[in-house]
């Protein structure tokens, strides 16, 4: 009888314990998931936004009213509505309202360039765009030439108490020149005809709850389609042994990444927790926020915790209230992990940093560290409904314990696919002989006998910044290559000189023949193009003109050679 493979044995299950929620609990809409688990606790606090608290009763009423408002604008089942915003109550209402209608949220980072926003809206044919007032000028430029019927504009003050809302409007006067198709959120909200609540939708495994944008394994920007079950599965699995009703979650992550919404909003709402919404997080204020709110839970990237260690506001604080400090978005170095864990221990927290691992294509999370199930250097164990195998790269040959290979993931949190890109989907989501759809992550690692996962290398071409945001070289190259004097552009990662961890993009450029412009003038024009068309976090740290690009034996630009050259 052949020896069973680690993904069949699932040694990690014994570490999760007994009495775990079953997968059937994930087979409902994301709205139904939070409603059914909280409908009997209407007075519990769901959201805290500055000095404003919103109960679960108010949350569901506002979601229903927002759904009616979208319906009044013509939104129906199967439509895709773009949300280009930060973490505010209105963002939460809109996400669940669209799900209630059987529609889809197309989430976009408001720091994205007008060019990028245009591409993301056009790709999914959104007729309605919801955005912040501060991002409206870019959105206005982005929707030019597109059949966008309505733009719903929110402000960070929309959910503040009346007097604070008034003071905000005085101190931050809105000078935007709004087009005729714009509805401010208050006016939009009132368009919803008051009436009976929408009935809960039947669960549809093919319904796309959200589209989250990522570069995937190839660096080509893609819209990852995630179903209701995927978000529910991440929420229910990562909450086990961590959350209890009425505990607090400090949400410092943005809504336009799967990690930010699945772990920062959907997970705590599903557990009846109170979410402290931070619309624009400043890592330098992390200690202040902990001191102010005393949350039991939070989730961030390695940089946030490394900055916390040196935050003077919290050096003498008692952190005994902290139960879970979720850490994802990037691997954390051993030295930094030890430093953060020592800090937590010395400040009376009973638990270590809760490391995890995942990617957008699995709704953000595939592994987690739970309480004492936490080995130094690992990213935790697979979630209990999730299977992970270490495979010989680009094959279905699963390897044994302690053997390095490609990390592959299967389970209920696997994406539906990339929007409009079946060929790209097939490159990463593969049906194995076991009948399961496996995500081939492009990451190299190994599994020990207990099921702990260790990441040793990333084979995908991706640049991860100090704050966990991902930069896709192909986006930079596509923008720069439009300059008439540029023959080839190649963006590579270079160590961030201002932070202990993380990289920044650096671009090598090859010119076309002869130009009447000076090299300095061309570089100045390239800089200007990048500042206009790239998101601010994607801006290259520098540029270098070279006589010719190095190529591999099959004729591709040898970016690995350039990356090595940039680090010498």
Give the CATH number of the domain where residue 170 resides.
Answer: 3.40.50.980
The closest of 188, 159, 142, 25 to 92, measured between CA atoms, is 159
Residue 536 has pLDDT above 80, yes or no: yes
What pLDDT shows up at residue 196?
Answer: 73
Residue 258 has pLDDT above 70, yes or no: yes
With respect to residue 135, please indicate whether it lies within any of the assigned structural domains: yes
With respect to residue 313, please indicate whether it lies within any of the assigned structural domains: no
The closest of 455, 458, 546, 556 to 506, measured between CA atoms, is 546
What average pLDDT does the structure give for the chain?
92
What pLDDT shows up at residue 554?
Answer: 53
Kindly calculate the radius of gyration of the chain based on its CA atoms and give it in whole angstroms.
Answer: 24
Q: Do residues 214 and 108 lie in contact, with contact meaning Cβ atoms separated by under 8 Å?
A: no
**Segment holding 545, helix H or strand E:** strand 542-545
Residue 391 has pLDDT above 90, yes or no: yes
With respect to residue 191, please indicate whether it lies within any of the assigned structural domains: yes
Q: How confident is the model at residue 217 (pLDDT cuts 50, 70, 90)?
A: low
Q: How confident is the model at residue 373 (pLDDT cuts 50, 70, 90)?
A: very high
What pLDDT shows up at residue 293?
Answer: 97
Report the helix count and the strand count for the chain, using DSSP H and E: 19, 27
With respect to residue 361, please indicate whether it lies within any of the assigned structural domains: no
Residue 174 has pLDDT above 90, yes or no: no
> Comparing 162 with 65, which gets the higher pLDDT?
65
Neighbours of 19 (CB within 10 A): 6
Neighbours of 314 (CB within 10 A): 19
With respect to residue 241, please indicate whether it lies within any of the assigned structural domains: no
* Section 202-207 average pLDDT: 94
Give, rounded to a whole angstrom, the gap between the first and last alpha carbons of the chain: 52
- Helix, strand or coil, per DSSP, at residue 205: coil
Residue 189's domain spans which residues? Answer: 55-202
User: Both tokens of residue 291?
Assistant: 């001191």
Q: Which residue has the tokens 């809760």?
A: 354
Q: At 306, phi and psi to the nearest 5?
A: -65, -35
What is d(CA 89, CA 62) in angstroms, rounded to the nearest whole number? 9
Residue 472 has pLDDT above 90, yes or no: no
Q: What percent of the chain has pLDDT over 70?
A: 97
- What's the predicted TM-score (pTM) here? 0.88
Q: Do residues 31 and 61 lie in contact, with contact meaning Cβ atoms separated by under 8 Å?
A: no
Domain closes at, from 157, 186, 202: 202
Domain closes at, from 143, 178, 202: 202
User: Both tokens of residue 505?
Assistant: 């993009």
Q: How deeply is 10 buried, as exposed, middle or buried, from its count of CB atoms within 10 A (0-12, 13-18, 19+)?
A: middle
Strands (DSSP E) contained in 283-404 are 297-300, 324-327, 354-357, 367-368, 381-382, 387-391
* Section 283-309 average pLDDT: 93
> Comparing 552 with 524, which gets the higher pLDDT?
524
Q: How confident is the model at residue 302 (pLDDT cuts 50, 70, 90)?
A: confident
Residue 362 has pLDDT above 70, yes or no: yes
Domain closes at, from 202, 221, 248: 202
Q: How confident is the model at residue 461 (pLDDT cuts 50, 70, 90)?
A: confident
With respect to residue 423, please indicate whether it lies within any of the assigned structural domains: no
Q: Do residues 411 and 387 lie in contact, with contact meaning Cβ atoms separated by under 8 Å?
A: yes
* Section 195-221 average pLDDT: 81
Query: How many structural domains comprise the chain?
Result: 2
With respect to residue 547, please indicate whether it lies within any of the assigned structural domains: yes
Model pLDDT for residues 48-85, shown as the tens digit of each residue: 999 899 999 999 999 999 999 999 999 999 999 999 99
Neighbours of 17 (CB within 10 A): 12
With respect to residue 39, please indicate whether it lies within any of the assigned structural domains: no
Residue 553 has pLDDT above 60, yes or no: no
What pLDDT shows up at residue 219?
Answer: 60
- Helix, strand or coil, per DSSP, at residue 143: coil
Q: How confident is the model at residue 166 (pLDDT cuts 50, 70, 90)?
A: confident
């Amino acid at each position: 009888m052949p020896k069973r493979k680690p993904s069949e044995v699932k040694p990690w299950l014994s570490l999760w314990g007994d009495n775990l929620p079953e997968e059937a609990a994930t087979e409902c809409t994301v709205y139904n998931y939070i409603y059914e688990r909280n409908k009997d606790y209407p007075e519990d606090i769901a959201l805290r936004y500055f000095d404003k608290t919103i109960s679960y009763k108010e949350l569901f009423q506002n979601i229903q009213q927002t759904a009616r408002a979208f319906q009044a604008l013509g939104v129906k089942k199967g439509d895709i509505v773009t949300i280009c915003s930060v973490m505010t109550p209105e963002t939460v209402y809109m996400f669940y309202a669209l799900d209630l209608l059987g529609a889809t949220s197309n989430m976009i980072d408001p720091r994205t360039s007008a060019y990028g926003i245009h591409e993301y809206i056009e790709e999914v044919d959104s007729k309605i765009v919801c955005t912040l007032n501060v991002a409206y000028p870019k959105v206005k430029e982005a929707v030019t030439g597109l059949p966008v019927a309505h733009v719903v504009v929110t402000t960070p003050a929309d959910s503040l108490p009346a007097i604070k809302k008034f003071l905000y409007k005085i101190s931050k006067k809105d000078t935007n020149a709004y087009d005729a198709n714009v509805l401010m959120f208050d006016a939009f909200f009132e368009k919803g005809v008051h009436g009976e609540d929408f009935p809960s939708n039947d669960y549809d495994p093919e319904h796309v709850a959200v589209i989250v944008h990522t570069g995937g394994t190839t660096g080509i920007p893609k819209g990852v389609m995630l179903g209701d079950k995927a978000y529910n599965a991440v929420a229910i699995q990562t909450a086990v042994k961590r959350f209890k009703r009425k505990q607090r979650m400090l949400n410092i992550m943005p809504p336009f990444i799967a990690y930010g919404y699945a772990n920062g909003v959907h997970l705590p709402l599903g557990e009846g927790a109170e979410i402290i919404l931070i619309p624009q997080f400043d890592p330098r204020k992390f200690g202040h926020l902990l001191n102010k709110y005393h949350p039991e839970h939070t989730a961030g990237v390695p940089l946030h915790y490394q900055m916390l260690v040196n935050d003077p506001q919290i050096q003498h604080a008692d952190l005994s209230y902290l139960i879970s400090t979720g850490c994802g978005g990037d691997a954390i170095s051993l030295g930094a992990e030890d430093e953060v864990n020592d800090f937590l221990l010395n400040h009376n927290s009973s638990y270590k940093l809760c490391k995890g691992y995942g990617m957008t294509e699995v709704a953000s999370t595939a592994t987690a560290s739970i309480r004492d199930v936490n080995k130094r250097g690992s990213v935790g164990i697979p979630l209990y409904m999730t299977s992970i195998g270490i495979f010989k790269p680009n094959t279905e040959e699963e390897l044994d314990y302690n053997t390095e290979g490609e990390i592959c993931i299967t389970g209920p949190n696997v994406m539906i696919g990339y929007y409009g890109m079946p060929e790209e989907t097939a490159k990463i989501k593969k049906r194995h002989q076991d009948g399961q759809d496996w995500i081939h992550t492009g990451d190299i690692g190994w599994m020990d006998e207990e099921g702990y996962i260790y990441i040793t290398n990333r084979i995908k071409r991706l640049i991860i910044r100090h704050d966990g945001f991902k930069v896709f070289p192909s986006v930079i190259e596509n923008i720069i290559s439009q300059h008439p004097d540029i023959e080839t552009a190649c963006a590579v990662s270079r160590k961030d000189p201002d932070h202990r961890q993380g990289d920044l993009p650096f671009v090598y450029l090859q010119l076309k023949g002869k130009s009447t412009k000076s090299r300095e003038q061309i570089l100045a024009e390239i800089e200007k193009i990048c500042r206009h068309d790239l998101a601010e976090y994607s801006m290259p740290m520098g540029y270098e003109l070279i006589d010719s690009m190095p190529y591999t034996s099959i004729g591709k630009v040898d970016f690995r050679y350039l990356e090595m050259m940039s680090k010498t």
